[in-house]
Structure 1
Amino acid sequence: MKTKIYRILPVIAILFAILLFHSPTSSIAQTETLTSVPAMKSTESLVDQHTSQAETLANLLQYKSELEKQIEDTKKLLKKPPHQMDKEALAAKLNDLKQQLHNVSQNFIKVATGLDLAIFNEDSQHNFVWQEEVETLVRPLLQELKEMTKRPRQIERLKSRVAYFESRLPRAEEAVKSIDTLIAAAKSPALKTELGTLRADFEKRKTNIDNQLDVARFELAELTKDKQSFYESTKKVMAVFFKSRGKNILLSILAFAGVFFFFRFVDKVFKKSHPAFKTKERPFYIRLIEVLLLIFTVIAATSASLFTLYISGDWFLLSIAIIFIIGALWTAREGFTRYYEQVKLILNLGSVRENERITYNGVPWQVDRLALFAKLKNPALDPSRIRLPIGKLENVVSRPVGKNEPWFPCMIDDWVILSDGVRGKVVSQSPDMVELVQRGGTYVTYQTSDFLGLNPKNMSRNFRLKSVFGIDYAHQADCTSGIVAQAKEFIAAKLEEDGYTEHVLNLNVEFESAGASSLNLVIIADFHRDIAALYGRLQRALQRYSVEACTNFGWGIPFDQIVVHKAE
């Protein structure tokens, strides 16, 4: 039963791409690529890297100490009873400082270890939002997709951060220089004090931006330093894939094939051992058993494949398989009516029944067997059997076979004449093509349905020739008696003279009609099928005999005449 599989082809393509370019260990491989130091680096490169790393850590540590001091100072100010608005501003500033301290601490660990502590946080791995009823099923798939794009997303995010801090750092430096200029120009001590406080604040901002820029540059350098070519990346991913998920897919396919062919083997053994399967008219319960066994075979094979993935613990592949099955079932629901009709055909309850006659593509067939594939036969063709999907017979109606009903108008080596004038011997006739060979060796090929549409006249089961000739009206008195007898005797002698007598089944000459200019006689000759190949020669011979008879007996052969009447 055919499924509209084309609707889920895009989904299949995406899932296959995921399988091909990802593996269970890809996240680990990426982490190692991002954080580990390659063993093949030169000593100078390692020293430069460690020096830069140490300088960044020192700056972060210093900034961390300043933040801790500011937090303590802010907490002391909050203990005093300031104005309500000042208190809210100090609380907001304290929260901001704590957030900065947290970020600096995280950045310090990142630079020192090359790891993000978020990977050790189990709760963060389960931060997933989706519809509750499919969350467990879809989560592994989406997590793999997210992990697969982690590296390019991190690189893009870090590039954006670097660009952001690089654009803000000059502005902060300009602000500090502007404040320094104002301090130098100010004469009021109070103004200098206020400007000094503002300068300290912007100096801290500049330091924070500088530190954040160093961290972002360091992380970006770590991510891009070990960039591999597409070929190397693909080769590595393929190697890991076939070592892990490739094995699981292979086991799953083997499980499906093993269970499926086992039950098909059981089905075959059962059919050979049970006599009801061997009868020409199979009972209904036998057909029902076949359908149920086929359905059970598919379900059992699919369950075995899914169970293999479950045992292997590969939830990613298991999720993909379940989503694929659900998608196929969801797509198949639209064709439920069609499938119901096909099941009726298989059970021999539909419009087509076994051992009855149908016409398919203009050719008659006998229905030999109805199953997932219908088997049709026509004993007059070679090959005599074809196999069709059961869905092809949905709109076909069968009928009982007639007792003496032919299956084809001719057989191999028969001579036929078609309505288009072609005459030849049949040398090949199959369900698709019929080939004729004409006298002289020319081959003519027709599609079988077109051949039948040309109403072939088979001459290989004896044939009749009729040849008409006319005599003058001067012989009107004897044309229906003496002349007819003389013509028959003369033509019979000519046939014997040419060696055709033993192939002539019947010969007669009769008066046919009175024409405008002649009295027409007809030669009627029935020949045996053995000389069907000489059809054209015999037709010409009869015309020749009639002319010779006219010459021999002095019968005038008229020609068309025009009578002109003179007006008075």
Structure 2
Amino acid sequence: MKYQNKLLKYSASVLLGWCCLWLIATTALAQSNGESQQPQAAVAPSTIETLSSFVELRKALQKDIRTLNQQLQSTRSEAEKASLKQRLEKLESDLRTTTRNFENIAAGVDITTLRGEVTEEFNLQQEVFALVRPAIDEMKEMTARVRKKSELKKKIDYFEEQLPVITQALANIDTLKQAASNKSLMQTLQETEEQWSKQQAFIQSELQAAQLQLDKLNAAETSFAEASQSYLKSFFQKRGLYLTIALLVVASVILLSRLSAKVMQRYIPGFRAKHRSFKIRLVELLHLMLTVLFSILGPMTVFYLVEDWVLFSLGILLLFGIAWALRQTLPRYWSQIQLFLNVGSVREGERIFMEGLPWRVEQINVYSTLVNPVAGISQRVPIDELVDLKSRPSQTDDPWFPCGQGDWVILSNGIRGKVTGISHEMVQLVERGGARVTYQMADFLAASPRNLATNFRVKEVIGLSYALQREITAVIPEALQNYLTQRIHQEGYGDQLLNLRVEFAAANTSSLDIAIIADFKGEAGDLYNRLRRAIQRWCVDACSENGWEIPFPQLTLHGSLSASE
């Protein structure tokens, strides 16, 4: 059935979504495995030197902290106490930082997460983030290496900018010491120099720690081939089985859906009818919705049962994204459901106008069928394209198309030809002699084609002399009609002739006009111009046999006389 195409489309979208989940999850797994499976490198001499400098710096900081604590206990000035507390807090912060750097360098990895530090809380509601947090943590883990490298580079740049300033400050203090002779000034400069020297040592230690961590991260990076191998290995070892089971569940749902559809077609009366009832359409719609629903819930159930919360959270995020994208289109989907149930603005068997042509709605389904019965063309359109249209019951005399294939037509520009091809975009004509003329559909309809396929009329006028005035209204028309009837049958056009009338038309300026009106069958449409010429020829022959004068126009005659005079 046609709805199966839509079912396959929805299922393919679901499969594509789960493939995206597979890529994200397995990439994260490969990244984490790549970090955990790096071979242990030999201890570099620079690491030992850095650790030694950290030990010395810690001792100096601890000594300064003890000194400040003693000064804080002995002083009584509130202003001095505040200054000492501020310096003490700075030294304690530097000591904690130095200790943390020492532990990270000694351990060879970032052990910040082992210290039990409080993680940042989420701003959104905890109920929502409890479902999607595993996926977010997995994505953060994917970019942890890149973010860590970026932070270290910024840290190195900052300390490299600070070191020259401190070095210049120490040089200036040393110059002042050499020039100073006051003992108190010398003591103050000495204390200031010691503080800046300690700050310089601290910044150098921070710089060395950041540089070592950055070097280790760069050394731990693997090549593309190794990362691909690790990626495939981790996939087949951990999440490959779960994703395979999820895809098998989707395939099973689709297979069961097709089998159940065949059962309904076989055992439900009228299920295959051209125009189905509302109940049958409702059953088919529910069957389609359940198929899509189970195709989505099946993999989610698999991830829940195997307790793979990363894939489950990624699935939740994917569903949230789909729901957010569909929130603006829900009214349109509701209109499509109404059309599918044949209770909307367009209904089966009625007439709509689309793309510049009228169409009969042959069948409404996920892909609907539209037919133009006269033009002999049809098209299959998605049901979404019918949402903004409306249909009406078709009447027996409603025109569908100006012509059909094989008809002879005359356009407003005088071109006459046989219609040999009609499509949604173009109409092709073949003129007498074989020349082909092609029009776009809009241009062809704008040319107001006159169809000769049913019956057509040829009207010709011949003028006679005013000398025949007595006979022109009755005798001559009757005689001319009898003569034309005889000639038409003699030359083989009698079977196509439907009606022939010869009447007095008008008293013209230089002649008395007679109108010849001949109606022919549509099968003689290709002879339209030949019949016009034949009628003129037969009229001239009749005038010659009966001695009827065909005058020149009076203006031409008078002009000739004036020229001769």
Partner of 1:416: helix, strand, or coil?
A: strand
Matching residue of 2:427: 434
Of 525, 529, 534, the match for 1:536: 529
How far has the Cα of 1:459 moved from its partner?
2.3
How far has the Cα of 1:115 moved from its partner?
0.6
Q: Aligned partners of 2:54, 2:406: CA distance in 1, in Å?
A: 99
Matching residue of 1:516: 509
Matching residue of 1:156: 150
Letter in 2 for 1:63: L
Report if aligned partners of 2:480, 2:539 keep a CA contact under 8 Å in 1: yes
Partner of 2:276: helix, strand, or coil?
A: coil
Matching residue of 1:561: 554
How far has the Cα of 1:81 moved from its partner?
7.2
Percent of aligned pairs with the same amino acid: 36
Deviations 1:509-549 (A, max 9, x none): 33333323222222233334443222221211111111222
Taking structure 1 as reference, are residues 366 and 241 closer, same or farther at Cα in structure 2, changes over 3 Å only?
farther
User: Aligned ranges for residues 370-381 of structure 1 at < 5 Å?
Assistant: 370-381=364-375
Partner of 2:27: helix, strand, or coil?
A: coil
Report if aligned partners of 1:30, 1:151 keep a CA contact under 8 Å in 2: no
Deviations 1:98-124 (A, max 9, x none): 332322222122222321112435655
Matching residue of 1:466: 459
How far has the Cα of 1:439 moved from its partner?
1.0
Matching residue of 2:354: 360
Q: Aligned partners of 1:186, 1:460: CA distance in 2, in Å?
A: 122
Q: Aligned partners of 1:110, 1:237: CA distance in 2, in Å?
A: 26
User: Aligned ranges for residues 402-551 of structure 1 at < 5 Å?
Assistant: 402-403=395-396, 407-448=400-441, 450-551=443-544
2:223 equivalent to 1:219: no
Matching residue of 1:6: none
Taking structure 1 as reference, are residues 476 and 317 closer, same or farther at Cα in structure 2, changes over 3 Å only?
farther
Taking structure 1 as reference, are residues 362 and 83 closer, same or farther at Cα in structure 2, changes over 3 Å only?
closer
2:127 equivalent to 1:127: no
2:312 equivalent to 1:342: no
Question: TM-score, normalising length from structure 2?
Answer: 0.81
User: Aligned ranges for residues 54-453 of structure 1 at < 5 Å?
Assistant: 54-75=48-69, 85-121=79-115, 126-132=119-125, 133-183=127-177, 192-225=186-219, 252=246, 255-256=249-250, 258-260=252-254, 262-311=256-305, 313=307, 315-383=309-377, 385-403=378-396, 407-448=400-441, 450-453=443-446
Deviations 1:260-290 (A, max 9, x none): 4533542343133211324455333223223
Taking structure 1 as reference, are residues 37 and 79 closer, same or farther at Cα in structure 2, changes over 3 Å only?
same
Deviations 1:289-316 (A, max 9, x none): 2333333332222222333444465545
Greater shift after overlay, 497-506 or 475-484?
497-506
Q: Which runs of 5+ in 1 are unaligned?
A: 3-11, 39-45
How far has the Cα of 1:238 moved from its partner?
7.2
How far has the Cα of 1:450 moved from its partner?
4.8
Taking structure 1 as reference, are residues 497 and 155 closer, same or farther at Cα in structure 2, changes over 3 Å only?
same
How far has the Cα of 1:474 moved from its partner?
0.9
How far has the Cα of 1:205 moved from its partner?
2.4
How far has the Cα of 1:74 moved from its partner?
4.5
Taking structure 1 as reference, are residues 518 and 17 closer, same or farther at Cα in structure 2, changes over 3 Å only?
farther
Partner of 2:554: helix, strand, or coil?
A: coil
Greater shift after overlay, 268-277 or 244-253?
244-253
Greater shift after overlay, 71-80 or 94-103?
71-80
CA RMSD of aligned residues (A): 3.9
Matching residue of 1:28: 32
Greater shift after overlay, 361-370 or 81-90?
81-90
Partner of 1:368: helix, strand, or coil?
A: strand
Deviations 1:481-528 (A, max 9, x none): 332233233333433443334443444433333323222222233334
Question: TM-score, normalising length from structure 1?
Answer: 0.81
Taking structure 1 as reference, are residues 201 and 405 closer, same or farther at Cα in structure 2, changes over 3 Å only?
closer
What number of residue pairs does the alignment pair up? 541
Greater shift after overlay, 269-278 or 533-542?
269-278
Deviations 1:323-368 (A, max 9, x none): 4433443443344444433333322223332222333334333222
Q: Aligned partners of 1:334, 1:283: CA distance in 2, in Å?
A: 31
Letter in 1 for 2:212: F
